Structure 1
C-alpha cells in the first residue's frame, strides 16, 4: 500500500479537522536515536519529537528494557482500585521535584486531561468558575481547556463551563507593549491584570493558568519575572496560580527543570504530560495536599498511572537526570538560537527567533513588515523536509516554525539541523 493509498483511507475515516503536515503527508515507520524513517523510504533528522513527546528520541535501550520487563510480568493495567507500586514510587519523585510543598500527584493520560483536572481542583476549592488565562495560549481540546485557550485557531466553541478573562503577557511580538523594556513590559502586563480583574470579574477568581513558554502559540517567550509580578496581584485576591508545564517541563528550557522556575515563584498547581514517559501517553497534576484533597466526591483515572506507562516514565526520568539532559538542552539550545539569529540577519521573512533551550520558535513574516506569513512557514517546512529535517509549525496564524528536538540531541546533529534550517530560510526568503 502506497502513502497515497494510506492518505485516501485516512481521509475516508478520520475527521476533516485532523490536519496533516506537508503537501504530501508523511508516514513514520521506524526510528533510531534522533532519526526517523518515513514511508517514503527516506531517513529524517527529527527536530519536533512528536510535538516534544519523544523527549529521549527513539530506540532508547533503557526505556525499551523497562517496558519489556513490565510486559513480561503480564500486567499492563490494573486500575486505581489496587495499590500501584510503580505509581507510588514515581509520584514520590515528582512531588519532591515539583518544588510544591506538601505535594500530591494525580495521574491521567494527556495534557488536556491534566489541565481539566487542575481547573476542577481550582474551581472547586475556590467555589468559583472564574478563570484568568493568557492571550495566545493553548491548554487542550476538552470543554474547559478549550475555553481557557486564548488562540482562536484552536477555539472550537464559545460554549464554556468556566467564565474566562484573558490578560496580556505571554506573546510579546505582536502585543501592544512589545517595544517596552522588560521591566516596563512586566509593569504594563501587571497593570492590565489588575484592570481585567476589576472590570471583567466578580473578584473571586479561582485561578490563573499560564504556560511559562506558549507552545502551540509559537514558543512565545515572556521575560523572566513576569509571573512573579503577576502572582503578587493574584495573592492579593487569593487567586491560585496553575503552571502548564506540558511542553516546558523536564529540563527542556535548559535553565531549569520546570519552566515556572525562571520566574522565582512556587505555583499552587503544576500540570505535565508529553515528554514525561518517552513517548507513551501520560499526564498528571501536582498540587498542594490542601487542594488535591479538597474534592468531596469519588474520582479516578482508569488508565492514569498504569504500570506500563509508569515503567517508561520512571526510566525516562532516570535517563534525564543521569545524563543531565537539562544541561544539554541549555548548551545546544544556545548554539541553535545564536546560529539561527545569525542566519536570519538580512532575511526579511524572519521577524523573530526566540525561545529557551531546545524550545525555539522562528516567526515568519511578509517581507517589509510584521504581517504574519503562513505561506513562508509552509514553504520552510517543505524545504526542510526536502533536505531531510522534520520541524513543527504553530502560532495563531500558523506562521511560526517550532523546533523541539529530543533532549538527547548531539552537537553534530545540532550543526546539521542548523545548516538545513539556514539553507531553507534563505531559499524561501529568495522565493517570496
Structure 2
C-alpha cells in the first residue's frame, strides 16, 4: 500500500517477503547471537530488525512483517512514533542522566502529573517512576507493606507479575518463569481467579463462586488482618488474556476495602489504551489503591510507575523508594511523547475498532475450526484458546504450529497461557486497517493448512 505510519517516519505499511523466514542475514546474526548470548534469553521469531513502525517490522534481509505483537504490548503508539522520537531526541541533546534522586528534572514530575491525572479516581495521588514492570510491582508491595505494617501478599491463579525473585513468587506459571530459580520470597499466597471458560460449574456462576472461594481462602488460610496487598491484572496477560467474569473484581475490591487491604491493579500489559480505555480496570469502574504501569507508557523506552493514593504512597520513608535509572530523563521525554500521541490520535478509539474487527473475524473462525475453544479479550488485547476438538483439553502443540506457520508467512504472533495453548494478539494501536485484515487472513490460512 506504501503509506507511512501515523505520526511516524515514512515506512511502507505492507507485508513483503523476499526470502524465507528467517533469511540468510538473520540466520548469520542468530549464529552470532547464540555464541554471545545465553540460551536462557529466548527468541520467539529469529529475524533481526533494522526498522519498525506503524504495523510492520523490517528485517536485515528486507522482509517486512505484519506486527501482531508490539514487543509484548510495548509499542502501542508504534515503534517510531514522531512525538516519541522527537521528544527523546531533544532530551538526548540536553543530557542523558543525572539521577532524579541527586539532581531532579522537570520531565519526571511531568510524567508523574500525567499519571496522577489519567489513572482512575479523583483522589490525591502520587507517582514514583522505575525501570520495569517487575520493579514497579515490587515497589507497590513495599509501599503496601509500609502502609499496612502487614506481611502477606495475595495473588491469583494464572497471574504473571515478573521475573525477579519476589515477582517470580507472585507469578503462577512454573515453566519457563520459575523452574530451577527458587527458593522464592515468602508470605505470598495464591487464590482462585474467575476464569469463565474453565470454571467447572460454568461461566454463569464463575464470578460469585470464584470470589467466594478467594475470600474464604484469604480469611481462613491467611487471615485478612495479615494481608498487606491483593495484586491482580484486570485482564491476566501471560496467563492467557483471561478476562475475569464480570462482578469478580468489584467483589474483591469491596473485600479489600472492608479489611484495610491495599488493592493493586497490575496494568503493565493492559494499560495505556490497550483495551480501549486508558486502563482496563475502568471497565467495571474499579478505582485501585495502587496501579502499576510499564510497557506501553514510553513508546519502547524502559519506564515503569507506581501511582496511588497519596496517603499510601507517602508511607515509605524518605530514601526508601527509587533507583539509579528510575525515571530516566530520555524515557520520561518519550513517555510524554507517547501520551501526547495517544491523546492526539484517540488510540482508545483505535483499540476499540481493532477489537471489533478481530473479535468478528476470530468469532467467525471459531465456527469453522473446532480447535478454537474460546475467543476473548477487549480492544487490541485479544486471544484465542486452542483445544482438542470436542473437549476443553489444552492444545499447546497446535498453538506452536500455528505460530510457526504465521511467522513463515510474515505475521508476528505470540503464544501465552498457563497451558501454552493460547495465541494472543497485541497489534500496535496505529496499525493500518488493511494490514490488520491481511494479518487475520494469514491466520485463517494457517489454520486451514495446519488443522
Superposition TM-score tier, normalisation by shorter sequence: over 0.9
From 223, 246, 250, the equivalent of 1:202 is 223
User: Normalising by the residue count of structure 2, what TM-score does the alignment of the two structures yield?
Assistant: 0.90
Paired with 2:411 and 2:72, the residues of 1 have a C-alpha distance of 14
Q: Deviations over 1:138-171 (max 9, x none)?
A: 0001111111112222224452333122222253
2:130 pairs with 1:103:
no
Structure-2 residue corresponding to 1:354: 376
Among candidates 64, 80, 97, match of residue 77 of structure 1:
97
SS of residue matched to 2:52: strand
Cα deviation for residue 370 of structure 1 reads 1.7
Asked if the contact 2:154–2:191 (Cα under 8 Å) also holds between the matched residues in 1, the reply is: yes
Q: Give the conservation status (yes or no) of the 8 Å contact 2:83–2:340.
A: no
Query: How many angstroms does 1:295 deviate by?
Result: 1.4
1:230 aligns to 2:241 (yes or no): no
Q: CA deviation at 1:416?
A: 1.2
CA RMSD of aligned residues (A): 1.7
CA deviations over 1:246-288 (Å, ceiling 9, x no partner): 011111111x211111122211100000011001111110021
Residue 352 of structure 1 contacts residue 362 of structure 1 at CA under 8 Å; is this kept in 2?
A: yes
Aligned length: 422
Among 76, 79, 88, the alignment partner of 1:55 is 76
Give, in whole Å, the separation in 1 of the partners of 2:110 and 2:423.
38
Q: For residue 89 of structure 1, report the CA deviation from its aligned partner.
A: 1.4
Question: Residues 366 and 420 of structure 1: is their aligned pair in 2 closer, same or farther, counting only changes over 3 Å?
Answer: same
Find the aligned partners of 1:424 and 1:390 in 2 and give their Cα distance.
13
Structure 2 counterpart of 1:121, from 143, 161, 165: 143
CA contact (8 A) 2:193 2:214 kept: no
CA distance in 2, matches of 1:34, 1:167: 38
Matched residues in 1 for 2:41 and 2:388: separation?
A: 27
Q: Answer whether contact 2:386 2:421 (CA < 8 A) is retained.
A: yes
Which has the higher mean CA deviation after the structures are superposed, 160-169 or 374-383? Answer: 160-169
C-alpha distance in structure 1 between counterparts of 2:203 and 2:419, whole Å: 24
Q: Matches of 2:366 and 2:449 in 1, distance apart? A: 12
Name 2:198's counterpart in structure 1. 174
Structure 2: distance between partners of 1:427 and 1:174: 28
* 1:166-206 CA-partner distances (Å, limit 9, x unpaired): 222253323434x131xx32110121022101222033211
The answer to whether the Cα contact below 8 Å between 1:28 and 1:36 also exists between their aligned partners in 2 is yes
Q: Report Cα offsets for 1:374-413 as digits up to 9, x if no partner.
A: 2111111122122221111111122111100111122212
Structure 1: unaligned runs, 5 residues or longer:
none
- Alignment-derived partner of residue 37 in structure 1: 58
Select the residue among 33, 43, 54 that pairs with 1:20.
43
Which of the numbers 307, 312, 315 marks the counterpart of 2:329?
307
| Partner Cα distance (2:411, 2:83) in 1 | 26
Render the CA deviation track for 1:221-248: whole Å, top value 9, x for unaligned: 1123321111122222211100000011
